[in-house]
Structures are given as structure tokens and as C-alpha cells.
Amino acid sequence: MANLSYTFTDLSDDHSERQHLRYISSSSFGNDWNSVFHSHECSELFYLTDGEGWLCTDEGNVPIKKNQMVIVNPKVRHTERSSAKNQMHYIVLGIDNLQFHFNNDDVFSSFRVFPLETHREVVLPLLLTILKELQKKRPSYEEICQHYLAILLLQVKRITGQDFSLSVPNPIPYECEKAKNYIEQNFREDITLETLSNITHWDKFYFSHQFSKAYGISPINYLLIQRIDHSKNLLSTTDYTITQIAESSGFSSQNYFSQIFRKTTGISPRDFRKKNSPK
């Protein structure tokens, strides 16, 4: 794998939370490339200048090809694999103090891939200019690179038509965010602590500690809260039986549901329905 990498060792004495460039690399895959999962504290922005391959994350493998841009958020485990027949070449930026939120989506998105075939002449010169500035390191190259980075991000936003916003990365570990989102989307399923720890690739006791530290509640109790909130809505808006509501909310039995509901709310599901059903 041929790789030219340039890094800012010290941008400035400004330690504010503005976005700034950490590094830029120009990479070409070869037979010596060993694909290993890794993560970064910064966001990474890839532009494929040639070839094709796959972006690999815990969520699966996504095909990527020439003239596509890949944005990977901080702390996301990922790696890249190149096609053997059409080897991948790309430029990658590491950007500090930056996390992407796409389409005002409340659910954290770990990455996105954007096709930029018709905009190569806009994006590639900006990337090559940043590479050249870091190669030459002439006076004021740091400020120039920062300005080109700002222009690049604005152009990507304009070209993709995505209403994504930029923010300082969440201090909560990505693994905890991933588990929380999984619970919110799948609380009706049979979820255990082992299920969640497998998703995060952490030991279950370490995961439980980190989740509780991040959100002030254990993962299993958070799961129960999601189920109880769902059951409250069904009790108030439907005529489903208590057994049906228990099953729909992810509880293993009506008795267990009633026990947890009373413990959480202080009243039984039937009493809750009487108080909250439309008159």
C-alpha cells in the first residue's frame, strides 16, 4: 500500500472547539495492505479518486467506488477493503471537533456515502490543494488549509443537498450510543445484556458500567423504561388486552409486565388504563 500522509503537529495555540484539520493522506492499495478494524477520535472524510472496494463497519460492508465520498463519524469502528482487480485510491481527511448529523436525524448515523461523479472538478482540486500546502509547508499554510477545509465542507453540503449539521463530537462513547439506539428500535425483541455487549464488542460488565455512567441508568433498566412507555401508549389509545400489550411491548408474560409496570408507575396497568383512557 502506497501512502503519503501529512499531519498538523500543532495548528495553533487556539484550543477552541472549532473544526480543524488533523491530517490528510493520499493512499493507494496494494497486495501488502492488511485490513484491520480501527476507530478515531476525529471524523474521517474519504474521497475515492480511483478504483473500488468496501467500507467495512460493525453494521456490514458497503460497496464504494471512484468519485464517491465517504464520511465516517468519530469513534466508529471501520476499515477499508480494496477490490483486487480494480484497486482503490483515495484521499482521506481527519477532522477534529466535528461530528456529522444527517437530515436532522435524531438517531446517530455512523457513516454516509455520497456519489459525486459530476462534481469531481469541484471536490478534487480542493483536496489536492490541501495536500500540496502540507507538502510544501510555505508560510501561513496552516491557515490556508483551514480555509480550504471550510470551503470543502460547504461544497459537500451544497453538492449532496444534505441538510447535515456539524457539531462537537458527543463525549458519550460511540458503543453506548449504538446500544441505546438499538434498544430504542428493538425493545420489543428478546434483548439481554449479552445481546447488547455483543453489539458493542465489550465485556458485558464493562459495557453495563460505561452505559450507566453515560446515561445515569443501567442498560436493562433503560430497556424496561422503553417497554413501559410503549405499553402506556397502548393502554391509553387501544383496547388491546393486557396480555396483548405485554407481548407487544416485549415482556415475556403478563404477570412480569404487571409487576414491572406497578413497580415503575405505582399503579397496575388496568388502573392506568382507567385513568388515561378517553372518556
Map out the domains of the chain as residue ranges: 2-167, 174-276
60-65 sheet: strands from edge to edge: 60-65, 52-57, 78-82
Q: Is the domain 174-276 a CATH 3.30.710.10 member?
A: no
Q: How far apart (Å, rounded) are the C-alpha atoms in residues 74 and 220? A: 26
Task: List 4's β-bridge partners, or say none.
Answer: 26
Q: How far apart (Å, rounded) are the C-alpha atoms in residues 102 and 113? A: 11
- pTM tops 0.75, yes or no: no
pLDDT tens digits, one per residue of 83-92: 989 999 999 9
pLDDT confidence band for 96 (50 / 70 / 90): confident
Q: Which residue has the cell 474521497?
A: 47
Cell for 202?
465489550
For the cut 70, the answer to whether the pLDDT of residue 227 exceeds it is yes
Q: How far apart (Å, rounded) are the C-alpha atoms in residues 51 and 29? A: 9
pLDDT tens digits, one per residue of 190-225: 999 999 999 888 899 999 998 999 899 999 999 999
Of 2.60.120.10, 1.10.10.10, 3.30.310.50, 2.40.50.140, the CATH number of 2-167 is 2.60.120.10
2-167 and 174-276 in the same fold: no
Contact status, residue 209 vs residue 250, Cβ threshold 8 Å:
no
| pLDDT value at residue 32 | 60
HEC letters along 222-240:
HHHHHHHHHHHHHHHHCCC
For the cut 60, the answer to whether the pLDDT of residue 104 exceeds it is no
